[in-house]
Amino acid sequence: MSKPTTIRDIPCDIDLVQSESNESVQIKRLESNESFKLLGVQVQLHGPMNANYKKIEEKARQLARRIKSSSLSARAADLAYNSVAMPQLQYTLLMTTYTDKDIEKIQRPLTKAFLSRIGFNNQISRDIIYGPRKYGGYQLSHLPTNRGHDEIKYLIGHIRMQDPLGIMMETVLAQLQVFSGSGTHILADPSQNLSYLPDTWFKTLSIFLAKINGSLIFKQAWKPSLQRIRDSYLMDDFRRHTTSTKQLERLNACRMYLRATTLADISIESGTHLNSDLFECTSQPLSSKFQWPHQVQPTSRMIKEWKSMLFRCYATN
């Protein structure tokens, strides 16, 4: 599996020089799984955002206690829930990668306190509570759904403006496309099996899009192209033969180590056979114009599965 580069892998100092005073200031380096604070949010580039999760969970409990112990009327409680409590939680969730189950756990005490305040039974089905009014539901704000809507608006807004953040988002999205090895853009077809990708913000967004049967199509979105007639994308072919997340992770690790995206990358010039060194995964990484994620040399187990899958996908007899 691909692992983030650590400070130990590339030891160095980062210094910025002020243009006016010529004074040098050293910037503290953080590991990719080390959290740091932004505007009211504790975030990190890789791994579970546990520090931020605990803060949001505690905030939700505090808001729940205030609503439960208050003497608010049903109408005032509804206003407090939707106009005060929910916006506070949504703001801190926008850039997170928590699952819907994790976010529902955050919302649970707040929902119970609200239902108690307006005179509803706490055990009432949540399908009724969160369901739309036109189908007989109460249409209470659902935190995981709101987080997904905010993510879509955030991405589309910055990419349309083509501001520095929007351009950076396009770059990160292109990098994730390289990582996926997919022949279809990951947001244009979020229903495809992307379970082997690391837990990133874009993966969280693709999961939400798949859940609502939606997609995002950008004219400028990049994906690698096929190189010849009857060429195909390796990961697309692999996913037709297995749905195992662990197996796809191992196969993708071999593919990224070799820096191969399509069948043509691992074939000989005539296209009639696979390159033996690439088949054995003993070759040095291929030269590529793309910026590939760092991938350590595959283990013997990974190579065994790589060879077996290539045989299953491309052997003619």
81 within 8 A of 138, measured Cβ to Cβ: no
Digit-coded pLDDT (tens) for 52-95: 888 899 999 999 999 988 888 989 998 999 899 999 899 888 88
Cα 51 from Cα 199, distance rounded (Å): 16
Contact present, 168 and 114 (Cβ < 8 Å): no
pLDDT at 4: 64
Helix 143-161 vs helix 201-211: angle between axes, to the nearest 10 degrees?
120
Query: Using one digit for the tens of pLDDT, what is the confidence trace for 195-254?
Result: 999 888 999 999 999 999 999 998 888 888 999 999 999 999 999 999 999 999 999 999
**pTM for the complete prediction?**
0.84
pLDDT over threshold 80, residue 35: no
Return d(Cα 141, Cα 107) in angstroms, integer.
10
Secondary structure (3-state) at 274: strand
Q: Is 226 left (phi over 0), alpha (psi -120 to 50) or beta?
A: beta
Inter-residue contact 139 to 133 (CB < 8 Å): yes
Q: Provide the residue count of the chain.
A: 317
Q: How far is CA 142 from the centre of its chain?
A: 20
